[in-house]
Amino acid sequence: MTTKEQKIEAAVAAGEIPGLILLATDTADKFYYGKAIGNASLKPGAERPMTLDTTLAIASCTKIITTIAVLQCVERGQFGLDDDVSTVLGELHDLKVLKGFEEGTEAPILVPAKNKITLRHLLTHSSGIAYDFADPNMIRWRASTGHTPDIGESTPLLQRATLPLLFEPGEGFVYGYSLDWAGILVARLNNVSLEDYIQKNICEPLAITDLTFHLEKNEEVRAKLADFNFRMGGMTQFATPADPNGQLTWIPGRVWPDPVVEDYGGWGALTSGPSFMKVLVSILRNDGKLLRPGTVEDMFTDQLSTASKEMLNATLSIPEVNNYLGGTPLGLQKTWGLGGLIVLEDHTTGQKAGSLRWAGLPNLFWWIDRKVGLCGLYASQLVPTGDPKSMEWSTVFIQDMYERVERFRAKV
């Protein structure tokens, strides 16, 4: 009988998905799974194997790290979750809400926002701030200013993330630059760069030595960097590939700038799979190395207003959008905690209601399940995001880990 692990290995060997790093562990520190499969580069003539210490661009997996940094500031009394962030982030003062476009001229219709953006809004994507390179209305607004945004551009964050809002803060849900703003807040509150803050307050307590926003400052990390891969078959911006069985090809260079001009708290970190797992493990085990127990409890608590939750679930009811936004199970009710999406119902993989999970653009997926006592990471470097084959095989991996931990515990 072919095991799930063997099926995943066969899919990589057949070129169905690129090299993978697969990791999982439990609350008791007794169950562990770690495996690197396939190649870190598909460059013709220069293929090299994926190893557990391979450096990955973790993209939006950065968001839970930035969230933890923010929550540390809250614990110290530097800022409150419901404080007006414009008191520190002056750029977010007196924002306007985009209500549409004038017919014929494409001039944006902007009205002053009534609500203030709070820190809770930033951490839960309920601020109204979208990504200008992904949201259709923001792309249209950018076009009205004569600019077509791209994820690979090196425009400073304060320029690319100062945008009109799509709705009143606290009254909707849209994925965007909110965590990048939260990262700037951490830097300003502590008078250091976000990189330096994270090194001291997250990396040092967890003995992480290979996490950075700046490869140009850490050649050892750069030397282990995996290449990106692309699924052939045509795509629209951040949509599902036209052909989910399209051939994989090597991408020369990087998908986003290297070096970067600043620390992007929403998507800019690079590290290895095991180092990222240290963050998940600390939260799963509630070991006090990063956050107090009560703060960890808040991470797994529904943080959205009714209107925001309704908009989140309506957004994730569209399969293609759901794949882009974390690839969470379709048909299940969801909300947002602090650091990730909370699935409110049990799933057929074995994942329980109340689990926290999220993803990264190159088809990375992580989860923390406190009921079962299991966390894990499926990590590739494949674009476009929301790849259907990656959704399929990451689900197989998650189910395999739940079955393995159950068998392991039955033997103990």
Q: What is the largest CA-CA distance in the chain?
A: 70
Half-sphere exposure of 306 (CA within 13 A, CB side): 0
Same domain, 181 and 209: no
Look at residue 73 and tell me whether its pLDDT is greater than 80. Answer: yes
pLDDT of residue 412: 79
Tens digits of per-residue pLDDT, 246-296?
Answer: 899 999 877 778 888 889 999 999 999 999 999 999 999 999 999 999 999
Look at residue 315 and tell me whether its pLDDT is greater than 90. Answer: yes
Q: Which one of 124, 155, 190 terminates a domain? A: 190
pLDDT of residue 240: 53
Same domain, 148 and 235: no
In this structure, what DSSP letter does residue 201 have?
Answer: I
Tens digits of per-residue pLDDT, 163-189?
Answer: 999 999 999 999 999 999 999 999 999
Averaged pLDDT for residues 236-245: 60
pLDDT of residue 266: 96
Same domain, 376 and 343: yes
Q: Which one of 190, 206, 223 terminates a domain? A: 190
Same domain, 251 and 361: yes
347 CB neighbour count, 10 Å cutoff: 21
Residue 160 belongs to domain spanning: 81-190
Positions marked active-site: 60, 63, 175
Same domain, 201 and 317: yes
pLDDT of residue 332: 94
Per-residue pLDDT band for 219 (boundaries 50, 70, 90) equals very high
Q: Which two tokens stand for residue 76?
A: 């110290």
Sign of CA dihedral 157, 163, 167, 169: positive
Tens digits of per-residue pLDDT, 33-50?
Answer: 999 999 999 999 888 999
- pLDDT over 70, % of the chain: 98
pLDDT of residue 252: 87
pLDDT of residue 69: 99
pLDDT of residue 167: 98
- pLDDT over 90, % of the chain: 83
Contact yes or no for 292/73 (Cβ under 8 A): no
Same domain, 242 and 225: yes
Between 143 and 172, residue with greater pLDDT: 172
Per-residue pLDDT band for 95 (boundaries 50, 70, 90) equals very high
Same domain, 99 and 54: no
Q: Is 293 exposed, middle or buried (0-12, 13-18, 19+ CB in 10 A)?
A: exposed
Question: How would you list the strands of the sheet with 364-369, edge to edge?
Answer: 32-37, 20-26, 374-379, 364-369, 355-360, 341-343, 334-336
Q: Which one of 190, 218, 234 terminates a domain? A: 190
Same domain, 51 and 115: no
Query: What CA–CA distance (Å, rounded) separates 327 from 182?
Result: 24
pLDDT of residue 233: 74
Same domain, 169 and 228: no
pLDDT of residue 261: 85
pLDDT of residue 235: 55
Same domain, 66 and 155: no
pLDDT of residue 104: 84
Q: Look at the chain and report how many structural domains it folds into.
A: 2
Q: Which of 141-145, 234-238, 275-279, 390-394 has the lowest mean pLDDT?
A: 234-238
**Global pTM exceeds 0.85:** yes
Same domain, 109 and 186: yes
Average pLDDT, the chain: 94
Averaged pLDDT for residues 394-412: 96
228 CB neighbour count, 10 Å cutoff: 22
Tens digits of per-residue pLDDT, 340-371?
Answer: 999 999 999 999 999 999 999 999 999 999 99
Same domain, 63 and 159: no
Look at residue 14 and tell me whether its pLDDT is greater than 60. Answer: yes
